[in-house]
Amino acid sequence: MTQSLQNAFRGISYAVKTERNLRTHLIIAVMVVIASLFFSLTRIEIITLFIVIAMVLIAELINTAAEHITDMITEEHHPLAKVIKDIMAGAVLLSSLCAAFVGYLIFMRPETRELGETIVLRKIAYFPPYAAAVAVVLVFAVSVALKLRDGDKFSLAGGMPSIHTAVAFSIAVISYSASQESLSILFLSLILALMVAHARISAKIHTIWEVFAGAVVGSFLTILILQLVL
């Protein structure tokens, strides 16, 4: 399972670093997701946005894979190789047009254009477990993004920062906040987080600096999110 995840992240990292169109679509996707938080969207509309965004990104990844397979089979100019690449480019274009059309229908509704407090923001602000989930997911995502800087060297086991330590310290901060700032809960949570960090060092999976970086990332991001939304 771990090896499969590492291979998947390496593939995504390679595609993002080598394909300009994929980077462009990824930036647009992030902007759309952020914008959706500030519009009055229904749950179905949010789900639809995520589906069409995933459809475009998956099409780009498949297009990248198809281009590399074609180049691997033949280095010479071949009519069928061009047809394959053109077909995959057409698939990306159709998925992009579909996503743009869906986005237009969703964001241009009169009700949607009324900026204000949205479903997602209300859940984060008034439902602490949702805020906790957002914090942990963001900590994990940022930690993975930092690891992706190494490209082909990416590994879930080892590297800067330690994802396990980051998540452990994030959970420790969340536990302290959820317990209405109980010092005993903070003490016990930190012990568990430090045990995770010590285990990563003892097993020689991470260095002390990688573990320290994970602790900083997990604690800082979680404190920032809880301060902003609660």
Catalytic residue list: 60
Q: 3-state secondary structure string, the chain?
A: CHHHHHHHHHHHHHHHHHCHHHHHHHHHHHHHHHHHCCCCCCHHHHHHHHHHHHHHHHHHHHHHHHHHHHHHHCCCCCHHHHHHHHHHHHHHHHHHHHHHHHHHHHHCCCCCCCCCCCHHHHHHHHCHHHHHHHHHHHHHHHHHHHHHHHHHHCCCCCCCCCHHHHHHHHHHHHHHHHCCCCHHHHHHHHHHHHHHHHHHHHCCCCCHHHHHHHHHHHHHHHHHHHHHHC
Nearest Cα neighbor of 121 from 111, 102, 138, 134 is 134
